[in-house]
Structure 1
Amino acid sequence: MAASITTQAQELYVGSYNIRYQNDGDAKAGNAWQQRMPVLCGQILFEHPDIFGAQEVLESQRQDLLKQLTDYDCIGLGRDDGKHAGEHSNIFYDRNKIKLLDHGDFWLSETPEKPGLGWDAACVRICSWGYFKLKGTSLKFYYFNLHMDHVGTVARREGAKLVVQRIKEIAKGKPVVLTGDFNVDQTNEIYGIFTQSGVLDDSFEKAQFRFAENGTFNSWDPELKTASRIDHVFVSPAFTVQRYGVLTNTYWSEAPQQTDTVKGADAPQEINFQKHQKRLPSDHYPVFVRLTF
């Protein structure tokens, strides 16, 4: 009985979510942040991960998330100036379950201690990390979260090597979770830098149960399907991966000039339908993973 309680207590629910940065172009296309933010937050609150990494988070979006996700605190600096400018790769954690012990940030560049472009990158890129304790247990773990460049192949390759090196230096063999938008899928040689490092496994491959009917990038189109996973959750080999899911939830907005009420086929006549447009909370699907240690 005591052993089962200990095992249960050391379960960890983690996630990765590229929330898509707020911009006018998306708003004009019907994907405004203020429209999709309540849906995205509702999804997170329903799943209620203990800790998750988010990418493309502007400071105003970070504040919006913290207002909605009232159980959560977050760490992570803005990539452009090391304060709040530019996108953040924030780590959000449920303060009721997780205690922050230490944290830091480094840039994916030749000068990782200060903001700056790395190699052939199109954007400044940052990795944020924290050292945490799962309350009520002996489990202490490191959590790294990043967004790798979408253009520079050299930047992704060298950035991956840097991240593995920093994980070894900072974590020193302690349990690690690494999440992020890596902009490479499971067939890419850069993905192999992580999985062949000896310190990280792909949680998708280790999962005892998977629910992943699609890849992780959707390009704002819910009808697109791909096998590519560019948003990954890598974990120390010591973790057991119970469940892995790519959640493809959608929501609906009113379709222009579609105001007529219709009846469904083989449906009770009391039910009225109205045509709506299916939309997505982000151009990435979130990944959620249940772990035990």
Structure 2
Amino acid sequence: MSGVAPLRVMTYNVRYATLDDGPRAWANRRDAVAATVRVHRPDVLCLQEVWQDQLPDLRERLPGYEWATERQQTGEHTPVGYRPERLTAETVEPFALAPDPADIGATGWDASVPRVATEVRFRDQETDDTFDLVNVHFDHAGALARRESARLVRERFDAAPALLVGDLNARPASGPYRSLVETPGPFTDARQAADTRFGPGETYVGFDGEGVEEGTDRDPTRDKRIDYVLVRSFDVALYATAADVDATWRHPSDHLPVVVDLRAAGPD
């Protein structure tokens, strides 16, 4: 189906609303976060570090999206926005990154806070193909929690086309990443598979200095690439790390969004 437009997927850790004040306060960042999304126009938008009181701000500023999300807990969740003219969400299943995935709100293993993933079965209206997507945010403090979260996610997938998207808090050399991507991992890293790559190699920039531009001392081959789009049964036409800044030359979040253009892989 060469005439079908690529499916554009974006992952973006938007940073908790309660961590900052002054120019970094959520009220001063939310317009720029939403504008970044609108500039790149993803068909699927996977967000992390979204507290329940942040999502209404994003719904208001991104009216073209419907949302698949966990609705009950008061802490962080991982909402998935999607364009209804392109995709239909056939099933939505939030689950805990914890020994009992049904125990949403539980803190798993040595994690610092409860972590909730969002799994969606999508149907692409342009191709009539279905695929599974899981949006995750692995724990930043618990090494065991990251390893076990990777195992849990890996075991949930069957042979269907699938995407694992989000903030793994793990670099490419780490055990959790390797268990998902390298043999016998079920996924391919979109950055490695892309026909075209653009933007910095790292995705976490922080709010101290921020610079990812030419002239900084960052090494994109070794530094903090922790946000991913991992694919199975998709071809990757484009991978971009979007180093957008606002009018004050600040990044809207302490993470850079990752944007990929995908096509369903044909038969071997």
| Global fold match (TM > 0.5) | yes
Q: In the alignment, which residue of structure 2 is the partner of 1:26?
A: 20
Deviation string, structure 1 residues 141-182 (Cα, Å, up to 9, x no partner) = 1110010000110110011000000123xxxx1111111110
Task: List structure 1 segments (4+ residues) > 6 angstroms apart after TM superposition.
Answer: none
CA change 1:88–1:226 in 2 (3 A) is: farther
Q: Residue 160 of structure 2 aligns to a residue in which SS? A: coil
Aligned equivalents of 1:226 and 1:19: distance in 2? 23
Aligned equivalents of 2:157 and 2:59: distance in 1? 27
Supply the RMSD in Å over aligned alpha carbons.
1.4
- Amino acid of the structure 1 residue aligned with 2:226: I
Deviation string, structure 1 residues 88-140 (Cα, Å, up to 9, x no partner) = 11111011211111110111111111121111111111111101111132221
Q: How many residues align?
A: 253
TM-score after normalising by structure 2: 0.90
Aligned equivalents of 1:198 and 1:186: distance in 2? 13
CA change 1:119–1:84 in 2 (3 A) is: closer
- State the 1:226 CA deviation: 4.4
Structure 1 alignment gaps of length 5 or more? 1-5, 254-277
Aligned equivalents of 2:244 and 2:82: distance in 1? 22
- Amino acid of the structure 1 residue aligned with 2:241: V
Structure with greater Cα Rg = 1
Give the percent of matched residue pairs that are identical in Structure 1 and Structure 2.
Answer: 30
Q: Residue 11 of structure 2 aligns to a residue in which SS? A: strand
- Amino acid of the structure 2 residue aligned with 1:14: V
Q: Residue 74 of structure 1 aligns to a residue in which SS? A: strand
Q: In the alignment, which residue of structure 2 is the partner of 1:41?
A: 34
Of 135, 141, 149 in structure 2, the residue corresponding to residue 151 of structure 1 is: 141
Aligned equivalents of 2:5 and 2:117: distance in 1? 26
Aligned equivalents of 2:211 and 2:126: distance in 1? 44
Q: In the alignment, which residue of structure 2 is the partner of 1:229?
A: 225
1:104 aligns with 2:93: yes
Of 99, 111, 126 in structure 2, the residue corresponding to residue 136 of structure 1 is: 126
- State the 1:10 CA deviation: 5.8
Aligned equivalents of 1:37 and 1:151: distance in 2? 26
CA change 1:214–1:27 in 2 (3 A) is: farther
TM-score after normalising by structure 1: 0.83
- Amino acid of the structure 2 residue aligned with 1:231: D
**Greater fraction of residues in helix:** 1
